[in-house]
Amino acid sequence: MLDQSDRRTPVVLLAGFSGPAMGGVEHIAATLSADAGTVIVHHDLAELREGVVTRTVRTAGTVTTTVLELAHGCVSCTLRADLLPMLCTLATRAHISRIVLALDPGIEAEALCHAIENVEVCGVADRVDGPAARSVRVEAVLTCVDGQQWLADASGDEVLADRGLAGADDERTVAQVAVGQVDFADALVVLTAGTEIFERDRLAAVLARLAPAAPVAWLDGLAGFDAIEIGALLARVPADSRRGRIFDAHAPLLRGQPPLRTDCGVTIVEFAARRPFHPARLHDALDVLLDGVVTARGRVWLATQPDQVVWLESAGGGLRVGNAGRWLAAMSPAERAATDPDRQVMAALGWDEQFGDRDVSLVILAHDADPDEIRHALHWALVEDDEMLLVERAPERVALWEDPFGDWHEEPCADPTEATASASERTDPRGETA
Q: Which domains does the chain have, with CATH numbers?
A: 9-235 (3.40.50.300), 267-425 (3.30.1220.10)
Note down pLDDT in tens along the chain; length 434 residues. Answer: 456 678 999 999 999 988 899 999 999 999 999 999 999 999 998 888 888 889 999 999 899 999 988 777 778 888 888 999 999 999 999 999 999 999 999 899 999 999 999 999 999 988 999 999 999 999 999 999 999 999 999 999 999 888 877 777 788 999 999 999 999 999 999 999 999 999 999 999 999 999 999 999 999 999 999 999 999 999 999 999 999 999 999 999 999 999 999 999 999 999 999 999 999 999 999 999 999 999 999 999 999 999 999 999 999 999 999 999 999 999 999 999 999 999 999 999 999 999 999 999 999 999 999 999 999 999 999 999 999 999 999 999 999 999 999 865 455 655 433 332 222 223 333 333 32
Separate counts of helices (H) and strands (E) for the chain? 14, 16
Phi, psi angle pair for 336, to nearest 5°: -65, -40
C-beta pairs of 256-265 under 8 Å, 24+ apart in sequence: 256/211, 256/212, 256/213, 257/212, 257/213, 258/208, 258/209, 258/210, 258/212, 259/205, 259/208, 259/209, 259/212, 262/371, 263/201, 263/205, 263/208, 264/198, 264/201, 264/202, 264/205, 265/202, 265/367, 265/368
For Cα atoms 50, 56, 57, give the angle at the middle one, nearest 5 degrees: 150
Rounded to two decimals, the pTM is: 0.90
45: left (phi > 0), else alpha (psi -120 to 50), else beta?
Answer: alpha
Residue 353: count of CB within 10 angstroms of its CB: 5
Phi, psi angle pair for 83, to nearest 5°: -65, -45
> What is the per-residue pLDDT across 45-75, written as a single tens digit (0 to 9) for each?
888 888 888 999 999 989 999 998 877 777 8
SS3 360: strand
Q: Which amino acid is at 133?
A: A
Rounded alpha-carbon distances, angstroms, from residue 113 to 87, 155, 276, 306, 400: 12, 25, 34, 33, 41
> What is the per-residue pLDDT across 95-152, written as a single tens digit (0 to 9) for each?
999 999 999 998 999 999 999 999 999 999 889 999 999 999 999 999 999 999 999 9
pLDDT at 163: 85
pLDDT at 412: 60
